Amino acid sequence: MVSIKVTTQPVLTPSMGWGGMSWKDPFVTITFPSKVIFTSASLLLLLVHMGIFGGDLYHFTVTQRFDLMSFHGTTVLLVSHVMSFYWALLGTFYTLQTNDKVLRGFALTSLAMNFALFVGRFCLDYLTIEYREELY
């Protein structure tokens, strides 16, 4: 048996770099399954929201300096809470179809904590509505 090995010389184009390599070759792409992405994104937003909520709770109960609370960003905070809850819900739906109990536990914990923090934020905004500065 005789095998024939055919080699061709690459044609260098302006989009190819030194040595005939494409500019995309040295980059590594890391991909995660969608269930991990949704759960980790919702947990990341949950940590951010917990920090903001803790600061608001501190300024409301301890220092009573209401001008330092996040009243100016209430709409953005509530929208990002809803987005974080939605991502946690999607992550939970995806993980309920698998048999991975650890990931399912993280997803359900993220869902419950996002919902609890959303309710806490909503109640805090309702309690502090009379302390807001009125701008006309």
Domains identified in the chain, total number: 1
Q: Which of 110, 130, 128, 107 is nearest to 118 (CA)?
A: 110
| 6 within a domain of the structure (yes/no) | no
pTM: 0.71
DSSP alpha helix (H) spans, the chain: 34-58, 74-96, 101-127
| 8 within a domain of the structure (yes/no) | no
Q: For the range 100-108, what are the long-range contacts, defined as Cβ-Cβ under 8 Å and sequence gap of 24 or more?
A: 103/35, 103/36, 103/39, 106/39, 106/43, 107/35, 107/38, 107/39
Structure tokens at 68: 């330092």
| 57 within a domain of the structure (yes/no) | yes
**Over residues 74-87, mean pLDDT:** 90
Question: 64 is in which domain, residue-wise?
Answer: 33-131
- d(C-alpha 127, C-alpha 135), whole Å: 19
At 2, the pLDDT band (50, 70, 90 cuts) reads: very low
